[in-house]
Amino acid sequence: MTKSMEKPRAKKRSKLTESRDLGCSYARFGPDQPLKLDCGQDLSPLQVAYQTYGTLNEDKSNAVMVCHALTGDQFVANTHPITGKDGWWGLMVGPGRPVDTDRFFVICANVLGGCLGTTGPSSIDPDTGKPYGLTLPVITVSDMVRSQVMLLDHLEIPKLLCVTGGSMGGMQVLEWVAKYPDRVASAIPIATAAKHSAQNIAFHEVGRQAILADPEWHGGDYTVAGTSPSKGLAVARMAAHITYLSETALHLKFGRNLQDRDSLTFGFDADFQIESYLRYQGSTFVDRFDANAYLYLTRAMDYFDLAADYGGTLAAAFRGIQTRVCVISFTSDWLFPTSENREIVRALNAVAANVSFVEIETDKGHDSFLLDVPELFATVTGFLNSAAVQHGLKG
């Protein structure tokens, strides 16, 4: 695919009205604007649910796109409408934060294939009047970004100051940089990889099989059947959650501590705190996430292999880009280890791109990008300020 083959659309607002529902905004694209998917099919209609923070300046030079991870959503920095909890990146995005919403206009869209307002497997298929379920075409990270480009056109923003995100969010960032470099002045991919590893595919497959093994999944038609594959989804979440942490973090946080008891019970209750914690993670996740969306999004991550779109050479993906890139990894991240982040850096260096790389020492594992890691905030603050100056944004 050639760079920027999807040019900014004509600067007119979609005729489809936006509505409020989850407390966020929606962009709707009708039959005249189908989303061309990697699988070859057109997806239409398309709805993209998104949240914004701050104000777009006059010359539209202060827009920052945040791409969320597998189980994230557009509620970056405000109260989640379902859980009532704070936004997942409130430490990073907000007034006075590294991505300062007093200065930047922040956009985050729920990803394509997700379950919080953007078209996904739980959306109604207009042809049947029922949820798509598994009849929704399999989508890719590239498709996700394509829908975000449509949103950017809809918002009439020609170029982003920055695009950033961690994990699956980082994959979207790489996709933006490779396919739409003219629309991104700078990028911060965090704790990610240019392709999903065999081990990561393996963990995803376990999660998917846990969902598929749940008889309440009903071939994906659980909504119609009036059931919920929550047990399978909870197991999937539990397996994945372990990979988001580090062994050291688990040891320090839980070790072999017992949960509300003084001694082993010689039974199968959650004797250990780590068991209780995991069960809680599983049980709360199912309240805010859709099992089919979990299948689609894990599949999208597994399919991600940026170099494959460029003849197998990752550097070719970045040839000629002017985007400034800052790659960030964490020492204790074993899901997206530094070595995989370094591959991105090497590829960018190979084409003499403007790239900096920061490996942050922390024992918090992959989830570090979501946590209170001062060096992460300092890095983003510094890079973003520099990028803003370069981009012509005033003080």
Query: What is the set of active-site residues?
Result: 167, 333, 366
Residue closer to a copy of itself (CB basis): 4 or 339: 339
Segment interacting with a copy of itself, rule: CB under 8 A, options 1-9, 13-21, 133-141, 346-354? 133-141
Using the rule CB under 8 A, which residue among 78, 81, 158, 203 binds a copy of itself?
Answer: 203
Rounded to a whole number of angstroms, the minimum distance from the CB of residue 252 to a copy of itself is: 9
Using the rule CB under 8 A, which residue among 16, 22, 56, 134 binds a copy of itself?
Answer: 134
Residue closer to a copy of itself (CB basis): 199 or 322: 199
Tell me, by CB under 8 A, how many residues bind a copy of itself.
56
Q: Extract the tokens encoding 272.
A: 């250990």
Nearest to 189 by CA among 159, 164, 223: 164
Rounded to a whole number of angstroms, the minimum distance from the CB of residue 216 to a copy of itself is: 9
Three-class secondary structure assignment of 164-203: EEECHHHHHHHHHHHHCHHHEEEEEEECCCCECCHHHHHH
Q: In angstroms, rounded to a whole number, what is the distance separating the alpha carbons of residues 253 and 245? A: 10
Alpha helix positions (H), 180-246: 198-212, 222-225, 230-244
Rounded to a whole number of angstroms, the minimum distance from the CB of residue 213 to a copy of itself is: 4
Using the rule CB under 8 A, which residue among 56, 206, 315, 350 binds a copy of itself?
Answer: 206
Using the rule CB under 8 A, which residue among 302, 306, 317, 321 binds a copy of itself?
Answer: 302
Residue closer to a copy of itself (CB basis): 300 or 380: 300
Segment interacting with a copy of itself, rule: CB under 8 A, options 25-33, 86-94, 263-271, 374-382? 263-271
Rounded to a whole number of angstroms, the minimum distance from the CB of residue 257 to a copy of itself is: 8
Three-class secondary structure assignment of 279-291: HHHHHHHHHHCCH
Q: Extract the tokens encoding 178.
A: 């490779």
Torsional sign, CA 259, 263, 268, 272: positive
Burial class (CB in 10 A: 0-12, 13-18, 19+), 136: buried
Residues 135-154 that bind a copy of itself (CB under 8 A): 137-138
Nearest to 143 by CA among 34, 288, 2: 34
| 370-385 b/e (C-beta count within 10 Å ≥ 16 → b) | beebeebeebbeebbe
The answer to whether 10 contacts a copy of itself (rule: CB under 8 A) is: no
Rounded to a whole number of angstroms, the minimum distance from the CB of residue 320 to a copy of itself is: 26
Residues in the chain: 395
The answer to whether 219 contacts a copy of itself (rule: CB under 8 A) is: no
Residue closer to a copy of itself (CB basis): 226 or 267: 267
Using the rule CB under 8 A, which residue among 19, 79, 83, 199 binds a copy of itself?
Answer: 199
Q: In angstroms, rounded to a whole number, what is the distance separating the alpha carbons of residues 219 and 211? A: 10
Residue closer to a copy of itself (CB basis): 78 or 197: 197
- Asked whether the beta carbons of 77 and 94 are under 8 A apart, the reply is yes
Q: In angstroms, rounded to a whole number, what is the distance separating the alpha carbons of residues 172 and 72? A: 13
- Asked whether the beta carbons of 62 and 104 are under 8 A apart, the reply is yes
Cβ count near 133 (within 10 Å): 20
Residues of the shown chain interacting with a copy of itself in the complex, contacts defined by CB under 8 A:
38-39, 134, 137-138, 195-199, 201-203, 205-206, 208-210, 212-215, 231-232, 234-235, 238-239, 242, 245, 247, 250-251, 253-256, 264, 266-268, 270-272, 274-275, 278-279, 282, 295, 299, 302-303, 305, 334, 337
